[in-house]
Structure formats: C-alpha cells, structure tokens
Amino acid sequence: GINAEYMGFGMGAALSGTMRTVIQKACEHATARVQFGSRIDGYGAIQEKIAKMSMIHYATESMAYMVAGTMDSGYEDYQLEAAISKIFASEAAWFVTDEAIQILGGNGFMRSLGLEKVMRDLRIFRIFEGTNDILRLFVALVGIQYAGGHLRELQKAISHPISNFGVVLGEVAKRGKGVVGIGSGNSLAEHVHPNLSESAALTCKAVDAMGQCVEKVLIKHGKGIINEQFILNRLANATIDIYANSCVLARCSKSL
C-alpha cells in the first residue's frame, strides 16, 4: 500500500546518504586511475558525470530537508511532497549508482567493491511503499483536483458575473497576459538570493506554463482525465521538476 506520510521523508534522507557514499567511491577511483597517460578525473566526460551525480544528490538532499521542514512546521498535509520526494530519491540514487559503476569500469561490476550490491538493493525502492508509477498518477491527480476546484469556482463566478465581478476581472486580466505571453512575473524574486533571481524567474515561468497546461487538459478531458495516464505521467514529471527547483532555490538562498 501507499504509506505516503513517511515514505518520502525517510527515503529521501536515507538515499541521500547512500548517494554520498557512492559518489565518494567514484571520486576516489577517478583520482587514482590513470588511463591514456592521465588521471581520469582530468577528462571532461568523467568530470561531467561526477558533476551531474553531485547535482542530483544536492537536489535529493534539498528535497529531504524541505519535506522534513514542512513536517516540523506542523503541517499535516504533506503527502504530495512526500510522494514527490520518494519518486525523486529512488530514481536519483539508481542513476547515481549506475554512473558510479560506469566510472569504475569493470571493477565497478565486481563484488569486491560493493557497488553491485548497492545497485541490487536500490532496485526495490522504486517498487515498495507505492510504486513510482502509481505515485506519479497520485501526484498528478492531487494537483488536478485542486485546479478542478478552482475551475468550478470560476465557472460559478462567470454564471453570476455581477456578484463575482472581482474574481472574473482578475481571471480575465491573468488570461489576457497569458495570451500575449506575459506570465505572472518573477513572484519568487524577493524570496531568493539576488544571484538566483534568474533561476527563480525560470521556475515562475514553469509554474505558469504548468497551470495553463493543466487547465487545457481539464477543459478537454473533464473527469475522463483520470484515465489519461500518458498525460498524467507528464504532468507528474513537470510537478516533480518544479518542486525540485523550489527546494534547491530555497536551500541555495539559505547558504549564500
């Protein structure tokens, strides 16, 4: 079953530790291994792998902090964040370990170095505590439920435009901007470090695009959206990326 309350919180934190150890092993090997007359950590392809692994580890850890912070603040509704963290962490740890094995070459595949055991054990994390496939549908549908409520309110407001003039006018203004390509602006700018304001603007743009996309999908499919798994998966992936962006922005702002 889906024990969404705790799974993401615990898994994100635990797998961050696993990833840290795996990255360390890959770095130790890369700094000691000489190939074609140079240490392999001097090659761009290896550097890119290690950079990507570290980046994904940072994002996973940031997410674990954020979910824990949400729980500590006394919020009772954190199933969505926990589910996102569970999906992201379980896939990130698999990717990082796979890349570490690649850096270690044939050695990485051998039992003596222990990475093959880590890889084998990691495989279960995408299955238990709710498979990532089911959790993706959960993430998408929870978001859509909220958007659906908003659309219903709007439909009601439009059917009585005089008494709900403010609501309708606000929506019309928002949509007008959307049509000419003006989003809601960089509403995150004041919450992040100045160095990160460009990244914050991109996140706001993604949120705007996501909102428009959900609305179009709901208007097109209505209640039938629950059977459109192809679309739901893509909406879930966009949601996960936006949440990862937000967690990293928050943590970077605190560190700078």
Alpha carbon distances (Å) from 1 to 129, 130, 131, 134:
6, 6, 9, 10
User: How long a stretch of residues is the chain?
Assistant: 256
Backbone angles phi, psi at 248, to 5 degrees: -70, -40
**CA separation for the pair 234, 140 (Å, rounded):** 8
Query: Alpha-carbon dihedral of residues 139, 227, 208, 181, nearest 10 degrees?
Result: 160
- b/e 221-235 (16+ beta carbons within 10 angstroms → b): eeeebeeeeebbeeb
- The residue written with tokens 């990833």 in the block is 19
* Cα-Cα-Cα-Cα dihedral sign, residues 57, 62, 68, 71: negative
Name the nearest CA neighbour of 60 among 133, 142, 125.
Answer: 125
Q: Which residues are catalytic?
A: 129
- For residues 197 and 189, the answer to whether their CB atoms sit within 8 Å is yes
